[in-house]
Chains A and B, each alone.
Chain A
Amino acid sequence: MNPQTFAIIKISAGVLATIGLYSVLYKETKFYRFWEHLFLGLAAGYGVVAAWKDTLYTDWWVYTFGMAATPTAPATPGHWIWAALLPIGIMGYMVFSKKHNWMSKIPIGIILGLWSGQQVQVWWQTWGPQVYSSMQPVIPTTFSPMSRPSTLEVANGQVQTIADPAQLASVQQQLANNLYPTQALTNLIFVVTFISAFSYFIFSFELKNKFMLGVNKLGRWMLMVGFGAIFGSTVMARFALVIDRMSFIVNEWVQTLTQRV
């Protein structure tokens, strides 16, 4: 096939598909429905092929049968018992049987068992370091000045790093050796946020104490601040995606079409 023609067909199909899916923003029409079903069909086909070539072929077929030697690599042995995984996988299909449907729970039980075992293994490996890093110093070691000294200075009407090396070194020395009240306060806010947010997720104690109710409420607010921060940081990333799509339709498509002329 002429590569140019193919490129035009390919990019036009992509543009049509994009517009087709976008059309749902206006209304769910037959046009959208067509592209939706086409998408689902392609995705199912792609999923099946990917499951074979990325998982079953490498982790099951090759692992079971091994690899014969090639001029560059020695033979790898096969693990014959792995073949028994196929019938175990087939047990999953018993979910459609009225009589033997219980058997589908065997492969499912194995998957869940493996997952559960991993949880026990990774829990502290994931959380130990995070618990440790939440313990931040909150006692200032000096009260003068109240905020940490800056490594910046104003010179010639401009803000710049301190020019005198000896003075800069002395400031850095002070910073390394001291915890200033503002830093301690920031750390304290960190710990209080953590503890109050944490206490919000305690379910089995009835909170009657005014102080604890306060902590609980504070926890919820702190959660909202955290959520807001996530929301704010994500918005821009999503807009970048739309801009990329617009560029695909406007720039790439138009370019490909006009190149032909």
Chain B
Amino acid sequence: MFNWLQGEQYLDTGWIGIAVTLMVVTFILVNIRRANKNADSLFIRRISGLNAIDDAIGRATEMGRPVLMVPGIGVLDAISVQAINIFAQVTKTAAQFATPVRICCANAPVFAVAQEVIRDVYTQQGVGDKFTPETVQFISDQQFAFAAGVSGIIHREKVAATFLLGAFYAESLIFAETSNAIGAIQVAGSTQSTQTPFFIAACDYVLIGDEFYAASAYLTRQPVLVGSLVGQDWAKIVIAGMVIFGTLFGSYEMTGMTTEHRTDNQGVSSMTPVEAGPDGTVTPERVKKSDTMVNRFFNPYTPEELVTIEREKKPAEPEAETGGGGE
């Protein structure tokens, strides 16, 4: 019946993935629109780690020591950009009190972005002359050389507060414990969940998981960010609903019995009957997870006739030239 669709449908990825992705995208865009109309109507819960920011800067100002910020060692992506956005907020406050700022970068493109953004903040605050080459520094793009360099800075400059936000890996503890050793307040958050426990053990305030993303929405209350956060929440609720429904419905299905099981071999699905006993009778077996409707929903059933498609082959390439030659 669907011959004309053969080989062109979303069979290999399944339509569910595209549907969910588009749903999430829609949620986010719709809520950004909602927020643009009336941002105050949207609520964001308190995020405890963020209230510490002002305290930390206040302390640094009192002590006359710098504030250190590290946007992780990841490449230039949303995580580092997000970290820099948070640091821009911190810098805004710090610049008002003329507290020196040190931002240490481990990735050159991230450094370039930080340089731009932080310089803008200083200019907007009317203290452009306070922005020095030491404000935003590139230390090293090698993980542990970076760790050694930043430790050195923490010790020598006796920083009063450290903000470690971004993608941190094994080096997380080096920064956190070194700052602790000189008595600095630490606010930390890593998108790498494997490093979060170390931050929890070593730091004063920790942002867990995507509290990190919620942070800039919480701090700036920009409609785009707030709306996006609400959209993400909608998506989470739908996914949680899916998991609950799938769990219950799948569990119900798996209480039944069946005489054939689904097998998947290299993307080709088929039904294999349960083997008959020696007397020729087939004893039904319990439905497996792979036999359920829930499974079909996530892993489309793709019988051989649907996924085996004959295509013409390109004519064989002429012998590649050996020797220069060009055009």
Contact = CB atoms under 8 A, between A and B. Distances in A.
A244 interface: no
A115 B45 contact: no
B286 A132 contact: no
Given A203-B214, A205-B43, A141 B255 contact: yes
Contacts of B197: 227-228, 230-231, 234
Contacts of A132: 246, 294-295, 298-299
B142 A194 contact: no
Nearest to B199: A227
Contact of A112 (B21, B76, B230, B289): B76
Interface string A109-142: 0011001100110011100110110111111010
B209 interface: yes
Contacts of A177: 285-286
Interface in B228-251: 229-230, 233, 236-237, 239-240, 242-244, 246-248, 250-251
Interface of B is mostly: helix
A257 interface: no
* Interface range, A side: 35 or more
B78 A116 contact: yes
A40 interface: yes
Contact of B116 (A104, A136, A201): A104
Interface string B190-219: 000110111011000000111100100110
B112 A69 contact: no
A124 B20 contact: yes
Contacts of A33: 152, 156
A43 B140 contact: yes
Contacts of A28: 151-152, 155-156
A101 B116 contact: yes
Interface stretch (B60-68, B87-95, B305-313, B317-325): B317-325
A54 interface: no
Main secondary structure of the interface of A (DSSP, over half): helix
B62 to A, nearest CB: 23
A108 B80 CA distance: 12
Nearest to B325: A75
Nearest to A95: B112
Q: B13, B152, B218, B321 — which one has the most chain A CB atoms within 10 A of its CB?
A: B152
Interface string B112-156: 110110000000000000000000000111100110110110011
B30 interface: no
Interface string A26-51: 00100011011001101110110000
Q: How large is the interface on B (under 10, 10 to 19, 20 to 34, 35 or more residues)?
A: 35 or more
B251 A138 contact: yes
Given A204-B45, A204-B229, A74 B321 contact: yes
Nearest to B45: A203
A113 B145 CA distance: 29
A134 B250 CA distance: 11
Contact of A202 (B200, B233, B248): B233
B52 interface: no
Contacts of B268: none
A35 B48 CA distance: 39
Contacts of A189: none
A142 to B, nearest CB: 10
Given A104-B116, A135-B294, A231-B201, A202 B237 contact: yes
A209 B129 CA distance: 52
Contacts of B2: none
A16 interface: no
Nearest to A75: B321
Contacts of B14: 128
Contact of B211 (A21, A111, A201): A201
A243 B146 CA distance: 23
A88 interface: no
B29 interface: no
B145 A43 contact: yes
Contacts of B11: none
A195 B240 contact: yes
A115 B151 contact: no
Contact of A198 (B140, B236, B289, B321): B236
Contacts of A112: 76-78, 81
Contact of A204 (B141, B142, B155, B233): B233
A224 B209 CA distance: 12
B4 interface: no
A261 interface: no
Interface string B71-85: 000001110010000
Interface string A218-255: 00000110111011001000000000000000000000
A206 interface: yes
A226 B116 CA distance: 38
Contacts of A227: 193, 196-197, 200
21 contacts: A24-B151, A39-B149, A40-B140, A43-B140, A44-B140, A92-B109, A108-B76, A112-B78, A115-B76, A120-B25, A123-B24, A124-B20, A134-B247, A135-B243, A136-B250, A139-B255, A176-B286, A177-B285, A203-B45, A203-B229, A204-B229
Given A69-B324, A177-B286, A227-B193, 8 more contacts: A36-B148, A46-B142, A75-B320, A129-B298, A137-B254, A141-B254, A191-B247, A203-B214
